[in-house]
């Protein structure tokens, strides 16, 4: 829990960015 705060947050940001990218690509297409 303590050491996963940094890495976990970073991974969440990557996942959110990936979801946002897929949403943008879908809206563009």
Question: What pLDDT is stored for residue 2 in this prediction?
Answer: 52
CB burial of 5-17 (b: ≥16 within 10 Å; e: otherwise) equals eeeeeeeeeeeee
* Locus of tokens 């690509």: 25
Cα–Cα dist 8/10, whole Å:
5
Does the pTM surpass 0.85? The reply is no
Question: What pLDDT is stored for residue 25 in this prediction?
Answer: 72
5-26 pLDDT per residue, tens: 566 677 788 888 888 888 877 7
Indicate if the pLDDT at residue 1 is higher than 50.
no
Q: Return the domain boundaries, the chain.
A: 1-29
CA angle 27, 20, 8 (to 5 degrees): 165
Question: What pLDDT is stored for residue 29 in this prediction?
Answer: 57
């Amino acid at each position: 829990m303590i050491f996963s705060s940094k890495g976990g947050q970073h991974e969440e940001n990557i996942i959110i960015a990936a979801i946002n990218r897929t949403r943008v690509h879908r809206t563009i297409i």
